[in-house]
């Protein structure tokens, strides 16, 4: 993953190709504390453990931030529907989808946990195959714990 941020917190997290990630992995020596914490959080996530989320500093509209705050409430290994989020925020599911799709912090703000009204996988900026993998990973980690 490509992480960007500074002392104010993590501002973006994006999936990158393996070669691209390997090329930038040796730039980790003098990272600001929030980026070091983000790296540790990712390692724990992929090992099936949860750590306290690092300091996040996402930029967005007030509505987007409200949606992203709701996503932070979805527990590891669980999902929520666009309709459920829309009901909580008194808006339309399409508006929720727009905000979810603009999430700048993949995994850290768990937009992969949002599913369609019947539990079906729907749009994910990083691909439905990756979304399915992440959901399966979280569910299997819960079984092990």
56, 67, 106, 111: the catalytic one is 111
Residues 6+ apart with CB under 8 A from 73: none
Active site annotation includes 134: no
Q: Where are the extended beta strands (E) located within 66-139?
A: 80-81, 114-115
d(CA 145, CA 133): 18
The catalytic residues are: 111
């Amino acid at each position: 993953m490509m992480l960007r941020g500074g002392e104010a917190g993590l501002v973006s997290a994006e999936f990158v190709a393996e070669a691209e990630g390997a090329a930038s992995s040796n730039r980790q020596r003098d990272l600001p504390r929030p980026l070091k914490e983000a790296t540790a959080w990712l390692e724990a996530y992929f090992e099936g453990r949860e750590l306290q989320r690092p300091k996040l500093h996402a930029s967005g509209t007030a509505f987007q931030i409200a949606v992203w705050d709701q996503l932070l409430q979805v527990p590891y290994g669980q999902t929520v529907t666009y309709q459920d989020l829309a009901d909580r925020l008194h808006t339309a599911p399409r508006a929720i989808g727009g905000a979810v799709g603009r999430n700048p912090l993949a995994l850290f703000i768990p937009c992969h946990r949002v599913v369609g009204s019947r539990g079906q996988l729907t749009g994910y900026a990083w691909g439905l195959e990756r979304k399915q993998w992440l959901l399966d990973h979280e569910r299997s980690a819960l079984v092990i714990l």
